[in-house]
Amino acid sequence: MVASSNTAESTTGTWQRVSSGPAHYEVYSKPVEKSPQDDREYRVIRLDNGLQAMLVHDAKADKAAASLDVAVGHLYDPDDMPGLAHFCEHLLFMGTEQYPKENEYSEYLAKNNGSSNAYTGTSNTNYYFNVVTAALPGALSRFAAFFHCPLFAPSCTVRELNAVDSEHKKNHQSDMWRIFQVNKHLSKPGHPWRKFGSGNKESLSKVGRELKEKGLLQNGNGTTAMKSADGGLAVTPNDSRAASPAPSVSSANSELEGDGGVVGRETRRRLVEWWSREYCAGRMRLCVVGKESLDELADMVASLFSPIPNRGKEPLHMITDHPFGPNEMGTLVSVQTIMSFHALEISFPLPYLPPFWRHKPAGFLAHFLGHEGPGSLHSYMKQKGWITALSAGPQNLARGFAMFKVTLYMTPQGFEQYETLIHTVFKYISMLRASNFPAWYQRERSLISATRFRFAEKRRPDDYAVWVSEHMSWPVPRELILSAPQLVQEWDENDPVNGGEREMREILDTLTIERSRTVLMAKAEEYERVRGKNLAWEKEPWYGTSYHVERLSDDFVKKANEPNDLKELFLPGPNEFIPTNLDVEKREVEKPAKRPFLVRETPLSSLWHKKDDQFWVPKAQVIMDIRSPVPNTSARTFVMTRLFADLVTDSLTEFAYDADLAGLSYYFGGHSLGLYVTLNGYNDKLHVLAKHVLERVRNLKVTPDRLEVMKDQAKREYENFFLGQPYRLSDYYTRYMLTEREWTMSELLEEVPTVTPEELQTHIAAVLAKVHIQMLVVGNMYKDEAARLAQMAEDILQTSSIPASEVIERSLVLPSGSNYIWTTPVPNKDEPNSSLSYYIHIGKTTEPRVRASAALLAHILSEPAFNVLRTREQLGYIVSASQWNLTGGGETGIRVVVQSERQPAYLEQRVEAFLCEMDEKLQTMSAEEFQEHRVALQKRWREAPKNLGEEVNRYWGHIEQGYLDFHRRDNDADLLESITKDDILALFRSHAGPSSTSRAKLSVHVKSQKPRPAKISVAAMEAFAKKVAERGYTVDEQAWKDNLAAEGDAPLEKFANYWRDTLLAQASTVSPQVAQELTKEVPALLEQYPAGDDGKDAVIEGATFVQEPKAFRASLGPSERPRALVDWNDLPTSKF
């Protein structure tokens, strides 16, 4: 298949040389095609080293950002070292020759209201950050150094190996990762798609261990001199390795700590070798968003990024060989899942899709296969009771090949008939092949994409920079970098070859059963129930996922190739929701209003409104909060409210799908105070969708068959919650313990099976009998239009009113001087991670000084918490410290969360040690550093919303919680000026420091049930080696440290085996009885020098252990009732 589109990058423009400035570069001559709505300026430049950059000047920006995309991902890992590209992404952040301090980059960003991240893909690795505009030059300088003079500090090797390993273990019980790797594993032998992309300690250390075992890694002094990109020595600078502020009992004091010994040094050597070969400037695409002029941005980029070497590598290497060969296609793969669900995914190999950018033919087919309206595959299967959801579409797997996927989420009944479902998918595809497609189908796609592109709102600058840098690798003329990925061109009906339809037909012809692979997903017991016990299961090597592969029978294939005979399947009609009125009346204002206005108030509803005065798009967002006292009276009423919402959504699928395609979406869901209706998109036909949604809410008739489907979905969701990440569980339980009216997942799960249609119908009537509606309308709608929407809601719902104050949310407040711990097991017995959520209460958010001080303290703690607890102490991949507002928004505190293989009690000790050291850090913090934190937080609060959605979110919290404190961000930013370092230190010592007698603290320990291997500390190993030498043995200190202590604490079994073999080898010179005596001394050493990760619970003194959560919650007092903090007097006269 050949794409008809022009694939040359720069055939329509020329590059013009710029020789002025700090470094020379070339500018692309043609202007970048952008939306008429987009007020930013763009320029594409190319440096002499081959790096291309998109410069974005945003005069209104208050945040700058950059993203650098390297055209190398995990498919480019060496075959013998899976995960090396990911490991590179981790270690690249650990200091540069230019900025050697290990956390220099993250600290600089944190002090300038910024943040950063990175990800490793299949064919690319992307690094990005955001920062206040004034700090862009400094951030960009630190960022650029990663790519021309990284240290890859030896002292960080083990820690980042552990971080990669922890990240893998975090994903080990995730079905998404497990199934992804099974799909990769079952590719053509030798194909790079088979690679294990995330890597772990095993995959990254295996080569070094094998070489060591062969005696090929001898290095007497334990050091290896590595050369950096410019030929200089890249040793670890002294000042890049500040000690952990509170060393743990397991901290090794060996000089080798951190570099991993000879094995770690070999891994690092291979990393530097790989980076020096693969990270080539010609493979890099950069996007920078800033307030500076395009000329200034160009000079900055040219100066900072020109030192990156061009190593002569192919800029965009393509892997055109598809991982699906004849042996992979025409098969059914059954995969066992961890979570409870039934899914079926049919995949078809496709060529690389960006060359088809003009007409996007695979997207055309996705429009039909993924449609949910009348006549669709989704509609037919749903009516049969077989599925709950369906999706279809193309997916670029890597640079060079893609896949088209049809995914069905099945009911248990659908799973029983999975073969029928597969055949039904192919019946629909057969119908598509036999159909004529009028050009208006493509015209609709083109119109929708053009409207979306024209009125696209700004995003967060780092999100935008990432999107741009990713798409700069597309084979399109440089002036079309922004538009080509987003726009769809109409077919040229006069050109049967390159007009567009032929491309679509060629792809459609490849969607056959013979060229497909189907993956079936369910729990083991479900396979046993439906397919019996005789399936022969194999194990995927990295995650241990069980799978079974079988070829489809000739009869099955023959049936799948039969013509469609289902009259219920037919093509969709025209989309009536495509907006026709896109007018926006733009009235310039000196400054956008900072709040909505109360424009209508009746006994039944309150309407807050703000006409858009800054984004000028033909869109609106509407939130209706229908509050009722009924939904949260018990766990059962909460479950029934959820089922009500699910049934409404389920019943509206066919009607609302076209609206969603056309850019108008809705959400209807239950919550603890009632029901939410939200509408979002083009305002032209928003009222039509709102009317249908509200009428369905009012008139829903519960049917037994759909109720059973929704109950099954709810049951699985509640069950699967317990199989999720431990940190989500510990955070959830912490919120539960501190919320006045809340139900556990177990309580909800217990209620689901017995809900009947009759009971649910009665419940719906009770929920809607008496309500109060809070409404917010923001966007391209005038006050009278919003008022008509509110009146329509009242007319349709036909309900009685209750006072708004009757339905509120409140938190529970910890008493002063309390230290509570609640421990519960991780339900998934195979989950290796535990979690700690550690909450310290600060005070009322209604007290401005308390609220602002809490935020500043949290801001100061955030970066050091990550740097110490994750980077230095390597407790785990998930580490965070942040401000936490409790339910209802009236109380606030600080929460530290850590997910780790270590025991939660040990994690608690490390968090407390960190807090103790933060006392000293706060005490010795310079006035300059304190001011940096204060300014960074002020700038965050004064940041303007980037789009309508962000603006709505800012307003809604104040309306929902009842405080109506719309100017809080600005007021708090001003208030920070009067808050001193002494104020923060006093707050920390009274409310956060572990030694405080007035502190109120609760921690939740979610403890893994998976046994951990016993460990021995480095200190104990050193003491044992000393005893061995004293008893007359020859001790090779370098050898035992390389074998056992290179990564800190060692498994006790590994320690025992090493010394057994070592002592046995000297049995001719020292009596074996001495070895037995030495062995008996090990338990005492373990006691004297405990390992930080010895698998035992640490003893926590002075804490009160919660035995019964319900009784604990009953012992706490509730927060104050919410009240309006400001009377805006918006309605001095009439009320509608």
Active-site positions read 89
CB 469 within 8 A of CB 126: yes
**What tokens does 406 get?**
């049809």
Contacts of 53 (CB under 8 A, 6+ apart): 44, 45, 46, 47, 285, 286, 287, 288, 298, 301, 305
- Quote the CA–CA distance of 227 and 234 in Å, as a whole number: 6
DSSP code string of 30-67: SPPP--TT---EEEEEEETTS-EEEEEE-TT-SEEEEE
Cα separation of the two ends of the chain: 64
**What tokens does 244 get?**
């952990």
Residue/partner pairs of 925-932 with CB below 8 Å, 24 or more apart? 925/860, 925/981, 927/981, 929/111, 930/981, 930/984, 932/111, 932/112
E runs forming strands in 399-483: 401-410
DSSP H or E run through 800 = strand 800-801
Give just the sign of the alpha carbon dihedral 810, 812, 816, 821. Answer: negative
DSSP H or E run through 363 = helix 361-369
DSSP at 233: B
**What tokens does 225 get?**
């001199």
**What tokens does 672 get?**
């603890």
Strands 597-601 and 605-611: antiparallel
Q: Quick one: 982 exposed, middle or buried, by C-beta within 10 A (0-12, 13-18, 19+)?
A: exposed
The number of angstroms, rounded, from the C-alpha of 781 to the middle of its chain's C-alpha atoms is: 33
Residues in the chain: 1136
Residue showing tokens 């801001």: 859
Q: Is 1003 left (phi over 0), alpha (psi -120 to 50) or beta?
A: beta
DSSP code string of 605-616: EEEEEEE-SSS-
Residue showing tokens 């050697």: 100
Buried b (16+ CB within 10 A) or exposed e, 835-867: bbbbbbbbbebbebebbbbbbbbbbbbbbbbbb
Minimal CA–CA distance to 342: which of 428, 423, 422, 416? 416
Query: What's the Cα-to-Cα distance from 1101 to each of 13, 988, 994, 1096, 1098, rounded to whole Å?
Result: 71, 21, 11, 15, 10
- Quote the CA–CA distance of 930 and 105 in Å, as a whole number: 18
Minimal CA–CA distance to 736: which of 644, 808, 637, 822? 822
- Quote the CA–CA distance of 977 and 974 in Å, as a whole number: 6
- Quote the CA–CA distance of 403 and 452 in Å, as a whole number: 25
- Quote the CA–CA distance of 1008 and 1004 in Å, as a whole number: 13
- Quote the CA–CA distance of 464 and 477 in Å, as a whole number: 20
DSSP code string of 266-327: HHHHHHHHHHHHH--GGGEEEEEEESS-HHHHHHHHHHHHTTSPP----TT----S-S--TT
DSSP at 619: E
Minimal CA–CA distance to 1052: which of 1087, 1094, 1011, 1019? 1094
CB 38 within 8 A of CB 62: no
